[in-house]
Amino acid sequence: MIIDEPFDAPAIIAAKRDRQALQDDEIDWVVDAFTRDVVAPEQMSALAMAILLNGMDRREIARWTAAMIASGERMDFSGLSRPTADKHSTGGVGDKITLPLAPLVAACGVAVPQLSGRGLGHTGGTLDKLESIPGWRADVSNEEMLAQLEDVGAVICAAGAGLAPADKKLYALRDVTGTVEAIPLIASSIMSKKIAEGTGALVLDVKVGSGAFMKTEADARELAETMVALGTDAGVRTVALLTGMSVPLGLTAGNALEVRESIEVLAGGGPDDVVQLTLALAREMLAAAGRDDVDPADALADGRAMDVWRRMIGAQGGDPDAALPTARETHVVTAETSGTVEQVEAMAVGLAAWRLGAGRSRPGEAVQAGAGVELHVRPGDEVSAGDPLLTLHTDTPERFGRALAALEGGLVVGTGSAPEQSVVIDRIG
């Protein structure tokens, strides 16, 4: 049976290619038709590239977001006994913040319904990281999610099939077609899921720098302002932090490696930058949920956040006491000369981790749980010739060559000084 469609994909692609604004009914149709498989993946790929190159105005972005939401269901957390707050990061290298943050905020009395995704390009995915924990599962039904939020206070899981299904399809397509960085598509992807999710408050961590999708502060600010406006208009208390991503967060990039570092933070240790950003975002989430009378640093210090972590992992089938996977092969990169570490470039480290097997190059591809990069130095450290700079981890040693190529020029040891690095650059909202 042939169904007469009101529009055709080539005409819409051509309109955006020629820098025209798409009309509301065109946007509604193309998102719905893509969800119904009437618009083919190659057609949506072409449209995504046209949007990347030519942009969208605020009306188009708002309508695209609404169409994404309309493609599925909406959740409701109003029946919970505590307020809700969520956080979303635009993605960076070594960005494991969600892992300690969700149980920390839950330990302070605010429920965290954290719908997370898999890796995009050179940036790691929260679900990929957590799946390195033996037994842990990302798929949780709506009923299980509500029960876990009431009982434990935090859940980190994949968005259900019924929540913005159009975005789920487009998210996977963007990852492999060079269109991840499109601001309209980033904003609508994030906000369609978060608005449909039904959280009462949302804190956005918008990364800026060489290892982020937004390389400049101006682009990051535009994205943050766009998302804050989308959330506010939808009735969600929304704030954004612009945070630095020219240097990897913490000392690891890779799935199990980052889980191990997150557990160190929950145990009261961990790298200073990871702890600082976790606490900054926790304070914003608590304030947005009306609990700014609580200091999250106390919940880290007294072990309450760790207790919630263990319960959260166990509730989703994981064993919090199980040994994490380790890669079968390692390769240590050492300093060729003595001096000061002037640069540890986030993009170089992210690409290396990706090439080692921590990320994927096509939809559905398996990732290696133990693959990644372990840093032994930070910018400003003094090293001697022969000192270890980083260790590469992988199950497939034939990957070392391409990973080392990605790192060329990314680690600089010289006689100068390292630039100052800000964890939080600005607050918007």
Does residue 180 carry a pLDDT above 90? no
Going by C-beta distance under 8 Å and a sequence separation of 6 or more, which residues neighbour residue 144? none
Whether residue 348 sits in one domain with residue 307:
no
Q: What angle do CA 400, 403, 404 make, to 5 degrees?
A: 85
Structural domain contains residue 421: no
CA 150 to CA 113: how far, in whole Å?
10
Tokens encoding 177? 């077609």
Query: What's the CATH number where 351 sits?
Result: 3.90.1170.30
Structural domain contains residue 72: no
Does residue 363 carry a pLDDT above 70? no
Helix-strand-coil percent breakdown of the chain, rounded to 5? 45, 15, 40
List 382's β-bridge partners, or say none. Answer: 340
Q: Which amino acid is at 194?
A: K
Whether residue 348 sits in one domain with residue 222:
no
Q: Where are the alpha helices (DSSP H) in 267-316?
A: 272-288, 296-301, 304-315
Q: What angle do CA 142, 143, 148 make, to 5 degrees?
A: 100
Domain boundary among 315, 345, 366: 315
Whether residue 139 sits in one domain with residue 234:
yes
Q: What is the pLDDT averaged over residues 337-348?
A: 96
Share of the chain above pLDDT 70, in %: 99
Q: What is the pLDDT of residues 260-285, one digit of tens each?
A: 999 999 999 999 999 999 999 999 99
**Residue 387's pLDDT is what?**
98
Residue of 45, 89, 188, 189 marked catalytic: 189
Domain count, the chain: 3
Structural domain contains residue 251: yes
Q: What pLDDT band is residue 2 in, cutting at 50, 70 and 90?
A: low
Q: What is the pLDDT of residues 158-170, one digit of tens each?
A: 887 788 899 989 9
Whether residue 384 sits in one domain with residue 245:
no
**Residue 118's pLDDT is what?**
79
Q: What angle do CA 351, 160, 256 make, to 5 degrees?
A: 35
Answer whether 53's CB lies under 8 Å from 13's CB.
no
Active site residue 82: no
Active site residue 174: yes
- Which position has the token pair 């905020």? 105
**Residue 116's pLDDT is what?**
86
Whether residue 29 sits in one domain with residue 129:
no
Whether residue 152 sits in one domain with residue 19:
no
Q: What is the pLDDT of residues 105-152, one digit of tens each?
A: 999 999 999 988 777 667 778 999 999 999 999 999 989 999 999 999
Whether residue 113 sits in one domain with residue 39:
no
Whether residue 343 sits in one domain with residue 395:
yes
Structural domain contains residue 324: no
Q: What is the pLDDT of residues 9-37, one digit of tens each?
A: 999 999 999 999 999 999 999 999 999 99
Q: pTM for the complete prediction?
A: 0.88
Q: What pLDDT band is residue 421 in, cutting at 50, 70 and 90?
A: confident
Residue of 96, 193, 291, 399 marked catalytic: 193
Residue of 86, 128, 167, 205 marked catalytic: 167
Structural domain contains residue 65: no
Q: What is the pLDDT averaged over residues 372-399?
A: 97
Structural domain contains residue 423: no
Residue of 96, 122, 129, 174 marked catalytic: 174
Distance set, CA 113 to CA 46, 57, 103, 146 (Å): 34, 30, 11, 9
Whole domain around residue 348: which residue ranges? 329-414
Whether residue 172 sits in one domain with residue 106:
yes
Does residue 370 carry a pLDDT above 60? yes
Query: What's the CATH number where 223 sits?
Result: 3.40.1030.10
Report the mean per-residue pLDDT for the chain: 94
Q: What is the pLDDT averaged over residues 204-229?
A: 93
CA 93 to CA 105: how far, in whole Å?
23
**Residue 1's pLDDT is what?**
42
Whether residue 216 sits in one domain with residue 257:
yes
**Does 415 or 310 have the greater pLDDT score?**
310
**Residue 121's pLDDT is what?**
65
CA 354 to CA 361: how far, in whole Å?
9
Structural domain contains residue 404: yes
Whether residue 350 sits in one domain with residue 278:
no
Residue of 63, 87, 88, 122 marked catalytic: 88
Q: Could you tell me whether strands 201-208 and 86-89 are parallel, antiparallel, or unpaired per DSSP bridges?
A: parallel
Active site residue 188: no
Nearest Cα to Cα of residue 73 among 219, 154, 193, 155:
193
**Residue 3's pLDDT is what?**
64
Structural domain contains residue 243: yes
Whether residue 225 sits in one domain with residue 339:
no
